Amino acid sequence: MSSSSPSAHADVVTKRLVLRAWTTSEATAVLDDIRSSHWADDFPADGDRVVAGLLGRHPEWLGTYGHRLIIERDSGLVVGSIGLFWPPSEGVLEIGYGIVASRRGRGYAPEATRALAELALTAPGVHTVSATVEVSNPSSVRVLDKAGFRRRAAEGDVVEFRITGPGHGRS
């Protein structure tokens, strides 16, 4: 993994959250199952472990428009992660997110998703952020609806959602 410090990329700050770039030491701690006092008791979740493992193969995901930890401003604890799967394909970036079980139902996922999508739409060559979810995951469908994404297409058990930047038509 290439190194990246939290100060290398500006944090995205919302009303209740801070979205901060992963560091290589945090990814290593997740992979080595080393607990941090700055993590919620149930962080990392399975998806966070997968992302930590992929950061070494995708160092660009540690960049400005890459993967971030979701930090609760009130407690300072990491409560999930969110990321953009760089590089864009024909102007489209995919987003993924996860909040630990102990913090679900508080609106953190839509808040973080909306904020990171807004950042992504400022990236050069990016006009759309997309997400695909299984129909059997209504919670994730609600996250995307609340974050301002529009249902675009369904194929089998998977639904695609999109949000577009100004001047690129409806999602």
Cα–Cα distance, 49 to 68 (Å, whole number): 13
CA distances from 18 to 31, 108, 153 (A): 22, 11, 31
What is 6-164's CATH number?
Answer: 3.40.630.30
Q: Where are the domains of the chain?
A: 6-164
Mean pLDDT of 144-165: 94
Could you count the other beta carbons within 10 Å of the beta carbon of residue 96?
18
The confidence score (pLDDT) of residue 168 equals 60
Given a cut of 80, whether residue 7 has pLDDT beyond it is no
Please say if the pLDDT value at position 144 is more than 90: yes
Q: How far apart are CA 128 and CA 88, in angstroms?
A: 9
Round to whole Å and give the CA distance between 52 and 58: 10
Position 1 pLDDT exceeds 80: no
- Average per-residue pLDDT in the chain? 91
Other CB atoms within 10 A of residue 89 CB: 10
- pLDDT above 60 (res 5): no
pLDDT digits (tens, 9 = 90+) for 15-25: 999 999 999 99
Give residue-wise pLDDT tens across range 55-96. 989 988 888 888 999 999 999 999 999 999 988 999 999 999
Write the DSSP assignment of 63-74 as a string of letters.
STTS-EEEEETT
pLDDT at 3 over 50: no
